[in-house]
Every structure is written in C-alpha cells, then in structure tokens.
C-alpha cells in the first residue's frame, strides 16, 4: 500500500570549481569561490538535517593535486574526488568549512563532468537509485574542449543523469531565452557582458546541453538578492512518507465502500528529543536519572516500586484500580472503523469546533474502480447538498474512537472526503462573555471608518493589473521557523564549537513579519487609528519591582524563574484580596503578620508588637505544635523586617530568640528524670526535638 516510487533514492554529485579564476572578483564583490562554497554548504546542511537516505559525493576541480579513478597518462588532471557517494554527515560539513580553499590550477570542466558521471555509474551499481544528478558550480573560465561534447551528452542521456549548473553571473536576457524552468532571475538586467572568451565558449556548450532538455541552470550572483540561494537556505521541509490506512466506510450494515486514508495535514514535530549528557565528558551514559517514591510524611519514607499500586481520583475519593482490572473493565470496541452516524448540514459544523491536530483524506481503495465510483457518488452528493457525514472513526483497536465530520472535497484531478475530529460533550466549555453591544463601547462612525481604511490598507489579497488574485502572505508556504532556527543553531555548534549561537538569519526574520508593501501602505491609517482610539494602559501592580526587592536578584535571572516569582507575588496579593486580616490571629500568625505588613494598614511597630504578644501566648501553651509555630513566626518576622528596613531591628529579634530558647532550655533541662516535663504534655523526646530545631534555626539565622 505504499506508493512504490517513494522508496527509491537519489544520488547526487556536487562538482565544484576551486580553480584559480574562481577567486577573482571585482572590488567589493564576493569572489565566485566563496559564493559557490556557500551554496554547497547550505545544500549539504539541508541534506544532513533532513536525514534523507539520499547519497552525495563531492568532486573538486582545479585542485593542485589529482585524485580520481580516471587519472591516467596526463588525462583528467587536477580533479579530486573529495568524497565518494555516501549519506552526507557533519564530517563533510566540517571539511567543507575547513578544508576547501581556492587553489591555483585550472581544469577542464567537461573532464570534471566525466569524472562525476563515472563516479555515479560505478558507485550506484547494485543500489536502487532512481534519480541521478550532477550539480556543477563553475565560472566556466577554463578552456574546455568541445570535441567530446556530443558523446558526453549521449552518455548523460543513457544513464538518465540530470545536470544542473550554478554560474556566478547573470545571463543576457536574449541569450538565455530557451524555456528553462529553474531560471530564477530573468527580470534583472544582464551582467554577462564582461565575459572572457573561455566563458563565452563555455556558455555556448552549456546552451547546447540545455537544448537537449535535461539541464537546469541557476545563477548565484549575490546571496542577498538571489532567491536561488534562499531556496537552499531553507532546510528541506520535513517530509514524511504518508502511511496508508485501509478501511471501509459503512452506512448501516449493508452498504460499505472500500477506502484508504492518509494524513494530509498534521502538526509536524521534530523527531529528535534532547538527550541529557554529562557536561564534562558529554557522554549520555555518564548520566542516570532515577525516580524514587516516598510517602508524604515527615520522614519521606521511601517506598519500593513493588509496593506501589495505581489508583484514580474520583472527586474527593481515591480509588485503587489495578492495571489488570482497568484493562478488563475499560471501554472496548471492535477496532478500525469509519461508520456513518448520519448526515448533517455543513453549516452546523463550525470551523472553530474542529478538534484534534490533523486532517485525514479518505480516497477510494487502490486499484478498485468500483469503490472509486461509489465514493465519488457520496462525495458529489454531499457537495451538491452542502452536507457532511458525521462518522465514528477508530484508528485501530487500541486507540480511542472519535466522532468527526467527513467533508466532501472535489479538486480538479481528484476527489476525496476530508475527515476532521469534532468535540465530545466533555471537551466543551460554555463560557459566557459580556455583550459588546453596549452603549459605552459602541464605536462611533468615525472610529468605524478608521478601521475600514486600516483593513483596506492591509488587505493581503489583491487583484493585480491583469485581474489576477495575488496573495502577499501565505503561511502555508513558510517553513516552520522553529525548525529552521533549530537547525541553524545545531549546524553552527557542530561546525564552530565553542562560539556563541548565531543571530537569526535575516531572511527568516523577514518571513515572519509584515510584507514591506503592507508596512508602507498602512502607515497613515494606523496613525489615524491611534488618534481615533485612545488606549491607556492600566497601571499594573508593582510586581517586578517588589520581586526584585524581595529576592534581590540581578537582571540576568532566567525568564522562567521570574514568572514563578510573579506567581508567588500574585499568591500573596490574593491573600490580601481576601481582606479579612486585621490583626495577628492565632490560627496562622505568621501568615497574618506577612499580610498585615504588605497591607501597610497598621504601622510596622504595632504589627511586630502584636506578633511578639502572640508568640508569648503560644509559648505559654507548652505544646510542641505551638513551639513550632513560634519558630515560623520569628522567621516571618525576620524576613519581613529585612524587606521593610533592609535589616531587622536586632534587639527585638534576638530577644524573641532568647525568649524561645529559654523556654526550650527549660523544657530540655527541666525535670529530666520524669518521662514528661512538668506542667506540660511534652515528652522528653519531643522536648529534645524542639530544642534541637530552635538551636538549628538560631545558628542558621546567625549565619545569614
């Protein structure tokens, strides 16, 4: 069920001129060599990240040395097979970056072509390659002997090899007329004037090959202008071979149509995950992650994996529910299905209620014309009635069934049903929002007309002078920028380790912004909008300032952390919002204390006094719980006073500790022989505990 031709591979030889003339350039221009190197780099980069199985070889000519299988009796000199046919990798990229330099010889580009052809033919033997390609990058500035041209052309034809030239100059408009599909910059004025004699005769030959119809030609005049390079810059978009899903569309028990489904649109994700490695050795095997389980008690008692069972929450209850039971009791169904529940008006299925993250196209089964006709009848009937089929869809027995809509889709060359998942009742949230039809909000006519002209100026779809529609901005033609950026950074790190990550490439940045035309056009209407619609930012709570104050962090803190801090601040503000705290109570004196300090409704001193008073009261209870509470109170006191006064009023602070310590000491050294301390319900061990925690807190607070 897989389309057969997609399993075949392609083989490509990059053939680059590194000879003497390639490093010549007019002042201020990049030499052809550098441009050619860029093209090759981008191309290989693209192949590496696309992880295609396509194989690639690199042949250089004009090299000082000679290294190729045809090297014999002064023939095929100064041509080097740099890399034989294999899947491209980073080594190759690093080599291109570091080992390929302009050299001092010149070689016949036709000879180089022959070496490439020979390489392709010998190295693809026994491999299933369906596309053979040679890409030649040269300025044609060498004497090439045209004697064998016809033989070469004949050989190319027989081997089914296609040829692509990248030349460093633009061709004259009238010189290149022969319909070349890949030509990219025909609109520019030609700069082919100052060509040398060799180049002119070379061009003649290129044109000759072109006439044979299996050649394409691109020029790489300047990297910034030529979209030929830009095309290469975009890392090959991720292509996945679509998986066929054969099934039967059923209407009731008696009518079924054999169909096959393919994912047509789905949110593509990067295949690879980040792995964790040791920073020093950069080996993943040196790092191990381990998860342990523990009870939610004070000692965090560890629990063995075998002693863990699974359960589920049912509201406030937790119900133990073993995997075996779960499997036995869970919802089961008959597996794969595409069954019609009924038909509904298309208008009843709203676009914003599409669920899931894919669109599946359903075709009639392969090689089944009858199914084709039957499905066509359904598609056309639905289309004419403006209806959809509401269906039950289950991918297989293990996956959960869905409800969805099958829309008719009739294209010029095919017909299909498009399946989209629809919501279940449990998925929907019925929010109501205040009406905007409201006297205070109703925009005036002047305001509405300002919006009108903004829309006019920012229409992305316009008719051009020929009455043809032109869309200035098509997101579905943009490669996912996240992938592009990801690969750019990975490439950089691989090729130039130890240097900081590069900035985003300008062309990528530009694709994510308003088109230049629109930016110009909407300038005036935007100004008008600004005049007509006063917008004032409501002053925000001084979140960031306080968080910086409290935590004393420098500005370089990570975003994520700041967010967390803000959340914490919100939390406290929510406390305040409760508005019920007027004095330091006994339930949670520390929290009350913090809230009161924040509210600033009472003087700091007074709140402190309340707290001290509360601590005394707590201690008189002679109970472990209250002692612990006192400790949190004192901690709160310290933390708040640091915030308010930068440093705590030392005397008071120490007094509190002393107070507490005295009680603890008394507890500890009190009547030691008895099992219980006199006058209290605290046992000896508890007293010990209290003493230790007070002591530790005191030591810690001194240290900070």
Question: Which residue in the set 60, 210, 371, 690 belongs to the binding site for other proteins (CB under 8 A)?
Answer: 371
Which residue number, 472 or 654, has a Cβ lying nearer to other proteins? 472
CA angle 157–160–165, rounded 5-degree value: 80
Of 642 and 661, CB closest to other proteins = 642
Q: How far apart are CA 288 and CA 290, in angstroms?
A: 6
Cα 166 from Cα 112, distance rounded (Å): 15
Residues β-bridged to residue 392: 339, 403
Stretch that binds other proteins, among 154-162, 164-172, 217-225, 234-242 (CB under 8 A): 234-242
Contact present, 20 and 196 (Cβ < 8 Å): no
Stretch that binds other proteins, among 67-75, 211-219, 372-380, 546-554 (CB under 8 A): 372-380
Site for other proteins contains 570 (CB under 8 A): yes
To the nearest whole angstrom, how small is the minimum distance from the Cβ of residue 265 to other proteins?
5
Toward other proteins, which CB reaches closer, 111 or 565? 565
Residues 514-533 that bind other proteins (CB under 8 A): 514-515, 518, 522, 526, 529-530, 533
* x-marked contacts with other proteins along 428-457 as a string, rule CB under 8 A: xxxxxxxxxxxxxxxx---xx-xxx-xx--
Q: Taking CB under 8 A as the rule, which mask of x and - marks residues 310-349 in contact with other proteins?
A: xxxxxxxxxxxx----x--xxx-x-----xxxxxxx--xx
CB of 197 to other proteins, least distance (A): 42
Rounded Cα distance between 95 and 117, Å, is 23
Q: Which residues between 473 and 492 bind other proteins (CB under 8 A)?
A: 473, 475-483, 485-486, 489-490
* Minimum CB–partner distance for residue 669 and other proteins (Å): 32
| 279 is a site residue for other proteins (CB under 8 A) | yes
Residue 179 C-beta: closest distance to other proteins, Å:
25
Q: How far is the CB of 290 from other proteins (least distance, A)?
A: 5
Interface with other proteins (CB under 8 A), residue from 20, 121, 214, 242? 242
E strand or H helix that includes residue 357: strand 355-364
Residues 20-79 that bind other proteins (CB under 8 A): 48-49, 51, 53
- The closest of 56, 57, 14 to 36, measured between CA atoms, is 14
| Nearest-approach distance from CB 13 to other proteins, in angstroms | 16
Q: Of 25-33, 72-80, 217-225, 239-247, which segment contacts other proteins by CB under 8 A?
A: 239-247
Q: Are 403 and 355 in contact (CB under 8 A)?
A: no
Quick one: 3 or 658, whose CB is closer to other proteins?
3
9-17 and 55-61 beta bridge pairing: parallel
369 binds other proteins (CB under 8 A): yes
Question: Should residue 628 be labelled a site residue for other proteins when binding is judged by CB under 8 A?
Answer: no
Q: How near is the Cβ of 629 to other proteins at its closest, in Å?
A: 16
Residue among 647, 598, 593 at smallest CA distance from 615: 593
Give Cα separations from 656 to 157, 582, 635, 650, 696 (angstroms).
Answer: 96, 23, 10, 10, 15
Residue written as token pair 């901005």: 473
- Collect all residues with Cβ–Cβ distance below 8 Å to 615 and sequence separation of at least 6: 589, 630, 633, 634, 656, 659, 660
CB 311 within 8 A of CB 317: no
State in angstroms the smallest separation of the CB of 108 from other proteins.
Answer: 30
Q: What size, in residues, is the chain?
A: 704
Q: Are 393 and 402 in contact (CB under 8 A)?
A: yes
Binding of other proteins by 392 (CB under 8 A): yes
* 262 contributes a contact to other proteins by CB under 8 A: yes
Ranges within 288-307 binding other proteins (CB under 8 A): 288-296, 300, 303, 307
Q: Is residue 88 involved in binding other proteins (CB under 8 A)?
A: yes
Beta-carbon contacts of 680 under 8 Å, excluding residues fewer than 6 positions away, are: 622, 623, 667
Using the rule CB under 8 A, is 390 a contact of other proteins? yes
Residue-wise burial string across 166-178, b where 16 or more C-beta atoms lie within 10 A, e elsewhere: bbbbbbeeeebee
CB of 524 to other proteins, least distance (A): 11
**Count of residues in contact with other proteins, rule CB under 8 A:** 219
Cα–Cα dist 54/48, whole Å? 10
Closest CB to other proteins among residues 182, 239? 239
């Amino acid at each position: 069920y897989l389309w057969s031709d997609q399993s075949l591979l392609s083989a490509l030889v990059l053939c680059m001129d590194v000879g003497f003339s390639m490093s010549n350039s007019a002042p201020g221009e990049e030499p052809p060599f550098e441009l050619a190197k860029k093209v090759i780099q981008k191309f290989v980069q693209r192949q590496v990240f696309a992880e295609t199985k396509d194989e690639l070889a690199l042949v250089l000519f004009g090299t000082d040395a000679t290294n190729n299988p045809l090297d014999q009796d002064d023939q095929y000199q100064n041509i080097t097979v740099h890399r034989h046919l294999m899947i491209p990798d980073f080594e190759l990229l690093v080599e291109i970056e570091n080992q390929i330099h302009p050299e001092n010889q010149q070689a016949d580009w036709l000879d180089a072509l022959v070496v490439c052809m020979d390489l392709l033919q010998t190295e693809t033997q026994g491999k299933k390659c369906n596309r053979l390609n040679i890409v030649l990058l040269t300025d044609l500035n060498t004497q090439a002997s045209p004697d064998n041209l016809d033989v070469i052309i004949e050989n190319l034809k027989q081997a089914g090899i296609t040829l692509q030239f990248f030349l460093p100059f633009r061709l004259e408009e009238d010189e290149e007329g022969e319909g070349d599909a890949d030509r990219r910059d025909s609109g520019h004025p030609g700069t082919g004037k100052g060509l040398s004699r060799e180049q002119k005769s070379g061009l003649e030959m290129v044109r000759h090959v072109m006439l044979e119809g299996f050649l394409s030609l691109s020029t790489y005049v300047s990297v910034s202008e030529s979209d030929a390079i830009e095309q290469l810059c975009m890392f090959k978009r991720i292509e996945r071979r679509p998986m066929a899903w054969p099934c039967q569309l059923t209407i009731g028990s008696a009518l079924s149509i054999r169909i096959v489904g393919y994912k047509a649109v789905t949110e593509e994700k990067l295949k690879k995950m980040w792995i964790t490695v040791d920073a020093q050795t950069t080996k993943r095997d040196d790092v191990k992650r381990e998860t342990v389980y523990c009870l939610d008690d004070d000692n965090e008692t560890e629990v063995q994996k075998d002693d863990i069972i699974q359960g589920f929450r049912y509201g406030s209850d937790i119900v133990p529910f073993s995997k075996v039971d779960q499997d036995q009791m869970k919802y089961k169904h008959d597996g794969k299905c595409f069954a019609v529940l009924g038909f509904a008006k298309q208008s009843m299925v709203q676009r914003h209620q599409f669920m899931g993250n894919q669109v599946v196209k359903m075709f009639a089964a392969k090689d089944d014309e009858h199914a084709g006709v039957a499905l066509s009848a359904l598609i056309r009937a639905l289309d004419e009635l403006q209806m959809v089929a509401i269906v039950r869809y289950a991918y297989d027995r293990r996956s959960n069934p869905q409800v969805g809509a099958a829309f008719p889709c009739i294209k010029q060359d095919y017909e299909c049903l498009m399946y989209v998942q629809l919501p279940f009742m449990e998925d929907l949230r019925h929010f109501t929002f205040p009406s905007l039809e409201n006297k205070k909000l109703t925009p005036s006519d002047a305001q509405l007309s300002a919006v009108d002209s903004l829309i006019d100026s920012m229409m992305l779809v316009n008719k051009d002078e020929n009455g043809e529609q032109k869309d200035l901005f098509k997101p579905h033609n943009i490669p996912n920028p996240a992938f592009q950026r990801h690969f750019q950074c990975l490439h950089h790190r691989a090729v130039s380790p130890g240097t900081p990550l590069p900035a985003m490439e300008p062309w990528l940045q530009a694709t994510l912004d308003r088109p230049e035309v629109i930016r110009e056009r909407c300038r005036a209407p935007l100004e008008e909008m600004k005049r007509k619609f006063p917008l004032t930012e409501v002053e925000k709570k001084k979140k960031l300032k306080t968080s910086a104050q409290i935590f004393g962090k420098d500005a370089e803190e990570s975003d994520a952390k700041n967010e967390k801090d803000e959340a914490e601040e919100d939390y406290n503000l929510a406390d305040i919002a409760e508005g019920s705290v007027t004095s330091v109570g006994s339930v949670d004196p520390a929290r009350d204390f913090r809230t009161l300090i924040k509210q600033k409704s009472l003087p700091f001193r007074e709140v402190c006094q309340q707290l001290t008073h509360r601590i005394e009261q707590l201690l008189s209870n002679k109970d472990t719980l209250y002692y612990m509470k006192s400790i949190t109170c004192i901690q709160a006191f310290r933390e708040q006073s640091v915030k308010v006064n930068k440093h705590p009023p030392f005397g008071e602070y120490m007094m509190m500790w002393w107070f507490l310590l005295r009680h603890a000491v008394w507890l500890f050294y009190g009547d030691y022989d008895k099992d219980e301390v006199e006058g209290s319900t605290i046992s000896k061990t508890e007293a010990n505990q209290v003493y230790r925690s007070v002591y530790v807190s005191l030591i810690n607070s001194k240290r900070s």
